[in-house]
Structure 1
Amino acid sequence: MALREINFDGLVGPSHNYAGLSVGNLASARNAGALSHPRAAALQGLAKMRGNLALGLPQGLLLPHPRPNARWLDALGVNHSPVDAWAMSAAAMWTANAATVSPAPDTADGRCHLTVANLMTMPHRSHEWPNTLRQLRIAFAHPAFAVHKPVLPPLGDEGAANHMRLGPAHDAPGVEVFVFGRSGGGFPARQHAVASQAVAFRHGLDPQRTLFVEQTPEAISAGAFHNDVVAVADGLTLFTHEQAFSDKDAFYADLRRLLPDVRIVEVPASRISLADAIATYLFNAQLVTLPGGEQALILPVEARDHATVGRYLAELVAGNGPIRRLIFVDVRQSMANGGGPACLRLRVVADPDTVDPRFLLDEAKIDRLEGLVRQTWPETIDPATLTDPALVADILAARAGLLAMLDLAAELSD
């Protein structure tokens, strides 16, 4: 099998709205109650996916969930604010929280393992996992994969946003890093240490090549609700803020022991404050290796346009470090709700031929998706109107059209 890294981006759903539901996510709180633009948001996401294809990177897609989540509302036995907003959440678009993924070279049975995240800390995300599990079990039904149910509550698990993998190649054993947290500044820590340990155990990872690292309370209190807001890794490169990890010296020493060629690019707090890093999502970037071997950062335009961060990035690629190219993308609608380029994708190292082709993209399929979005996604949503029957009908019809287009209605219609 030819293993490649495939980015599975979440298509922004037709119920994309700014209800401000995510405690500790500063952008989400800041824009609570504002008018959202679901059509523009989905088109921005598709443009990012098209750009990745143009770079020579395999690109996949995960789909919006049924909204409102009628089954969950019926089970809950209540339907009023804020529950109606929870049931209409489009947060499944951030597929970095869909699951934790361990590639086949790291696992005891030689399969790629995926554990769906329970997302239990936030009510509006706690009901995502059943539909995520359904999608992943269709997309990765090949025997090369093992797809697991979530870790049981009360152990909060938020998926790949708190997980990194470093290694010399996709087909060689790597080092998997699980980042957990504790509460900081009144904000909840969303990744429990025992949940991370449970995922590593069920994936059959080598304990000698698996690290568990604590995120700093300072990062959490500053608004880094996931590790991928302050650190990102690819290949043998770790790009991180100085204040990302509680015992960074021990962590770096472990990495260097296990991977002598590791390259740690640490951004000093004296250059970029946590506040500026989080406001621009400097680290919530896709760090990728292009087909020619060059490493690139796919960043939000906010990082380019910020004077301090933009200046740092220009110096970064002008130096002799491993990151040689900057690619800026407009995902402003996602950013305004607290998710940058890295939040929008789940990385899976696999042979593309083992993935259900309905979840893989090419230019022609993106063209069709863009046409559907332009025709059926709501142009705007006011959070105060989330229960409007006409809006609900439009959202249901838009998703039904998407499932029909991708020939997934039989498996994913509710």
Structure 2
Amino acid sequence: MSLVEINFDGIIGPSHNYAGLSLGNLASSNNAGAPSYPRAAALQGIEKMRANIGLGLVQGFFMPLNRPNQNWLNGLATDMQSAQPHIRAAAFSASAMWAANAATVSPAPDTADGKCHLSAANLLSMAHRSHEWVGTAAQLRLAFANERHFVVHDPVPAPFGDEGAANFMRLCASHDAAGIEIFVYGKTGGPFPARQHIEASKAIARAHRLDPDKVLFVQQSEIAIAAGAFHNDVVAVANERLLFTHEHAFEYPEQTYADIKRLMPEAEIIIVPADRVSLADAIQSYLFNAQLVTLPNGGMALILPDEAQENARVWSWLTEMLEGNGPIRRLVPVNVRQSMANGGGPACLRLRVVADPTTVDQRFIADAHKLDIIAEVVAAHWPETILPDQLGDTDLLDKVRLARLKLLEATDLVALA
């Protein structure tokens, strides 16, 4: 069995809008009330997937969830026409596009039973995300239905919040080798909530049957959360033996680095100093919310949002890093501006799964032809623009539902309807 890293991107749904629902997410708050462009957003995401395939990477995708979520509204004894605006917006949110929050994934080499374990995230800290897990778990169980190779777990129960892979990292000699798994939790962040609870992280490590001697539980820094790093992947990212991190990512950085080196002496750690790139610059540019990937030729690339290239301080540091002949050999800027405006960069849009691609339901594996089909559906059926005050509009709701159904039909995934 050939294990490789597969990046599953969330296709940006037809209900993509800017309602400012995510406390602590500065981009989401700053753009609340602005017009969104769902069609452009989805096409930008498709082009990112297409570019990844062009780099020689294995690419997958997840479908948008059914929106508005009438089952959730039923539980609140309301509907889209009579619900309060914040409830209506939460039911209509397209936030499942950020697949990094879909689940935590432990590959087969790390687990006692030699299977890849996936735990759907409960996302309890935000109302608009807390009802995602039912649709997400159903999709995971379809994509990873092969029980010889995968185990899909329901979320950790309340009240312990879990944000999925956005607060999780893995270091290993190669993707198909056993590694160490790093769970990053929060405690406080000034005015903003810490979304990842340590008890949720510990529960997932137990459920995934991980070796306790190969697991670290690390606290995210309070100043990073207060600055707007609502997930760890806004300030740190790992790939194979490399940790790429901001100086202020962790509450106890020296202990964190020492523990990593103790468990994996060959690990490399690149620390971006705060006097070169401030937390504010890192969060504005989403420098660390990048896909750090291994290319087929063995070198690493950093797939960054265009905003990182446009930030002079960030780009200056990155170009100097490249000149140093370190493990990161390529910088690949991509346009995901619609996602960025709601607080999600390239890394937010994807869930990393190390597996043999042939063991995954092939309907979820991307190629150029499938992406062409998806793009055609998006161009024909996704709304061009949405304003927050349209969320109760019956015509818009019907258009959004029909758009998703057309995509499910085109990809032979009507089982998710």
2:141 aligns to what? 137
2:271 aligns to what? 266
2:57 aligns to what? 57
1:162-194 alpha-carbon deviations (Å, 9 max, x no partner): 000000012211000000001211100000000
1:218 aligns to what? 223
Q: How does 1:172-321 map to 2 (within 5 A)?
A: 172-321=177-326
CA distance in 2, matches of 1:254, 1:215: 15
How far has the Cα of 1:66 moved from its partner?
A: 0.5
CA distance in 2, matches of 1:256, 1:82: 46
How far has the Cα of 1:80 moved from its partner?
A: 2.3
CA distance in 2, matches of 1:18, 1:318: 39
Matched, 1:120 2:120: no
What secondary structure does 1:47 align onto? helix
Q: How does 1:88-103 map to 2 (within 5 A)?
A: 88-103=92-107
How far has the Cα of 1:361 moved from its partner?
A: 0.5
Runs (4+) of structure 1 exceeding 4 A deviation are none
Q: TM-score, normalised by structure 1?
A: 0.99
Structure 1 unpaired stretches of 5+: none
> Percent identity between the aligned chains?
62
What secondary structure does 1:367 align onto? helix
What secondary structure does 1:299 align onto? strand
CA distance in 2, matches of 1:32, 1:316: 35
How far has the Cα of 1:321 moved from its partner?
A: 1.4
Matched, 1:81 2:85: yes
What secondary structure does 2:397 align onto? helix
Matched, 1:152 2:173: no
1:60-116 alpha-carbon deviations (Å, 9 max, x no partner): 001101111011100111322111000000000000000000000000100000000
CA distance in 1, matches of 2:84, 2:362: 39
What secondary structure does 1:43 align onto? helix
CA distance in 2, matches of 1:235, 1:293: 11
CA distance in 2, matches of 1:328, 1:365: 23
What secondary structure does 1:49 align onto? helix
What secondary structure does 1:82 align onto? helix
What is the letter of the counterpart of residue 106 of structure 1?
D
Structure 2 unpaired stretches of 5+: none
CA distance in 2, matches of 1:324, 1:300: 17
What is the letter of the counterpart of residue 101 of structure 2?
N
Q: How does 1:374-389 map to 2 (within 5 A)?
A: 374-389=379-394
What secondary structure does 2:8 align onto? strand
What secondary structure does 1:142 align onto? coil
1:27-49 alpha-carbon deviations (Å, 9 max, x no partner): 00000000000000000000000
C-alpha RMSD of the superposition: 0.6
1:130-163 alpha-carbon deviations (Å, 9 max, x no partner): 0000000000001200000000010000000000
Q: TM-score, normalised by structure 2?
A: 0.98
What is the letter of the counterpart of residue 163 of structure 2?
E
1:30 aligns to what? 30
